[in-house]
């Protein structure tokens, strides 16, 4: 901080003062703190990313982090284990649990004052072979026993260390031929075994998770669940049914996996508001915006600009609803993105493979910087922010 000086003193010691300033200011003044997503976010909003603990965090040395680890800690206040808490990784055999990747995520979060979103407890995909094989002959009671043991074991291990859990993930199947959606009572091995009353099993999954960790907020989570559509209408009805039955459902997660090949649903905020009116938290849980690329593998300037707009629109919808607790991108650099392995598209994240920040990152940072500190802004009904 500078101090006032009198004119007489300035004349008397001009040369000495100039020399002193030149020498002392760089040492006396701290470098300005760089703006990051984490630093600029309102205090009631977690800014998260998905990470593979086994791949990226097992070698963590706090005194000598990798560039990826340094950026992860600087930019984000929340981590979701992209794969390390899924059944195939964490419960590979009937009596075997492998917590190494999940433990690495939790340890990194603790070391860097970050939160952890648990992902996921009941899902139709990435189940180990022992589950998919046994499921063909399970009775509902047998499926329930396996699922209950898994949920109590995994959630209980991290009780008090995970602030949000994706309990039931992608439990509705898009059924385009029938013009709607339906519960996955075929692909999901647990719902298939209890197909006579799958909602009861879903409700009990939430009850078991809550008993294992009463502090965690428990979410439904799905893709194509951003705006108001057939799928979110089904989730809205399910949420009402679960809540009426006393199920400790705490939130609705919209993944936010978008593609520039399709239009953008501008009813995200309205959708969030109706779930919030039920007393639920809402969140953008897995945001990325992929695109088809040309023969050179590069996006056009128009695609880059549109990607930034769509990332920002999802964040704006979240900020405009006080019940939105977290905004999570599904990986932050293209080198680690799941998209090219699943879709004939790419360039989906907010940084390139060598961590160059894209306009999408800049758009998120600007919006977070302009958001009200401490409490997310709310937009009056019918007005756009």
Residue 222 lies inside a defined structural domain of this protein: yes
Query: What pLDDT is recorded for position 374?
Result: 74
Burial of 44 (0-12, 13-18, 19+ CB in 10 A): middle
User: Per-residue pLDDT for 260 more than 50?
Assistant: yes
> Which pTM was predicted?
0.88
User: Per-residue pLDDT for 26 more than 70?
Assistant: no
Residue 380 lies inside a defined structural domain of this protein: no
Region class of 260: left (phi > 0), else alpha (psi between -120 and 50), else beta: alpha
Q: How far apart are CA 123 and CA 383, in angstroms?
A: 37
Residue 14 lies inside a defined structural domain of this protein: no
Residue 25 lies inside a defined structural domain of this protein: no
Are 42 and 376 in contact by the 8 Å Cβ rule? The answer is yes
User: Per-residue pLDDT for 385 more than 50?
Assistant: no
Residue 2 lies inside a defined structural domain of this protein: no
Residue 279 lies inside a defined structural domain of this protein: yes
CA 89, 49, 332: angle at the middle one, nearest 5? 105
Q: Which domain holds residue 101?
A: 35-369
- pLDDT single digits (tens) 83-104: 999 999 999 999 999 999 999 9
> On the CB side of 309, how many CA atoms lie within 13 Å of its CA?
12
Lowest mean pLDDT among 31-35, 49-53, 356-360: 31-35
3-state secondary structure the chain: CCCCCCHHHHHHCHHHHHHHHHHHHHHHCCCCCCCCHHHHCCCCCEEEEEECHHHHCCCCCCCCCCHHHHHHHHHCCEEEECCCCCHHHHCCECCECCCHHHHHHHHHHHHCCCEEEEEEEECCCCCCHHHHHHCCCCCHHHHHHHHHHHHHHHHHHCCCCCCEEEEEECCEEEEHHHCEEEECCCCCHHHHHCCCCHHHHHHHHHHHHHHHCCCCEEEEEECCCCCCCHHHHHHHHHHHHHHHCCCCCCEEEECCEEECCCCCCCCHHHHHHHHHCCCCEEEEEEEEEEECCCCCCCCCHHHHHHHHHHHHHHHHHHHCCCCEEEEEECCCEHHHCCHHHHCCCECCCCECCCCCECHHHHHHHHHHHHCCCCCCCCCCCCCCC
Lowest mean pLDDT among 4-18, 19-33, 126-140, 191-205: 4-18
Which CATH number characterizes residue 96's domain?
3.20.20.80
Q: How far apart are CA 164 and CA 80, in angstroms?
A: 10
Q: What is the mean pLDDT of the chain?
A: 90
Are 368 and 37 in contact by the 8 Å Cβ rule? The answer is yes
For residue 324, what pLDDT band results from cuts at 50, 70 and 90?
A: very high
Q: How far apart are CA 47 and CA 327, in angstroms?
A: 5
Residue 24 lies inside a defined structural domain of this protein: no
When divided into structural domains, the chain yields a total of 1
Cis peptide before 120 (omega within 30 of 0): yes
**Of residues 26 and 231, more confidently modeled:** 231
Residue 29 lies inside a defined structural domain of this protein: no
Cα 206 to Cα 32, 152, 165, 191, distances in angstroms = 45, 11, 10, 14
Give me the active site residues, please.
Answer: 170, 286
């Amino acid at each position: 901080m500078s101090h006032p000086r009198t004119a007489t003193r300035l004349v008397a010691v001009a040369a000495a003062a100039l020399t002193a300033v030149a020498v002392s200011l760089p040492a006396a003044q701290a470098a300005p703190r760089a703006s990051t997503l984490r630093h600029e976010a309102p205090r009631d909003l977690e800014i998260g990313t998905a990470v593979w603990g086994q791949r990226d965090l097992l070698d963590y040395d706090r005194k000598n982090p990798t560039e990826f680890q340094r950026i992860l800690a600087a930019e984000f206040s929340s981590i979701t284990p992209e794969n390390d808490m899924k059944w195939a990784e964490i419960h590979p055999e009937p009596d075997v649990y492998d917590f190494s990747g999940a433990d690495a995520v939790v340890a990194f979060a603790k070391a860097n004052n970050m939160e952890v979103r648990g992902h996921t407890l009941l899902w139709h995909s990435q189940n180990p072979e022992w589950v998919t094989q046994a499921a063909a002959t399970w009775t509902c009671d047998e499926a329930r026993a396996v699922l209950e043991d898994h949920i109590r074991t995994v959630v209980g291990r991290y009780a008090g260390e995970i602030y949000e859990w994706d309990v039931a993930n992608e439990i509705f199947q898009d059924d385009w031929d029938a013009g709607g959606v339906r519960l996955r009572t075929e692909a999901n091995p647990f719902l298939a075994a209890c197909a006579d009353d799958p909602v009861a099993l879903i409700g009990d999954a939430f009850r078991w998770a809550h008993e294992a960790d009463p502090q965690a907020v428990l979410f439904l989570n799905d893709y194509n669940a951003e705006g108001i559509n057939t799928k979110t209408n089904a989730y809205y009805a399910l949420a009402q049914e679960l809540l009426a039955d006393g199920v400790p459902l705490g939130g609705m997660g919209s993944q936010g996996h978008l593609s520039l090949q399709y239009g953008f649903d501008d009813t995200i905020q309205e959708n969030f508001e109706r779930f919030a009116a039920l007393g639920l938290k809402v969140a953008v849980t897995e945001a990325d915006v992929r695109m088809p690329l040309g023969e050179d593998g590069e996006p056009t300037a128009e695609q880059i600009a549109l990607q930034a707009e769509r990332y920002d629109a999802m964040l704006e919808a979240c900020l405009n609803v006080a019940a939105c607790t977290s905004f999570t991108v599904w990986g932050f650099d293209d080198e680690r993105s799941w998209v090219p392995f699943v879709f004939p598209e790419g360039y989906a994240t907010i940084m390139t493979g060598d961590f160059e920040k894209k306009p999408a990152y800049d758009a998120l940072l600007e919006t977070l910087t302009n958001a009200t500190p401490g409490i997310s802004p709310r937009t009056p009904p019918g007005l756009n922010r």
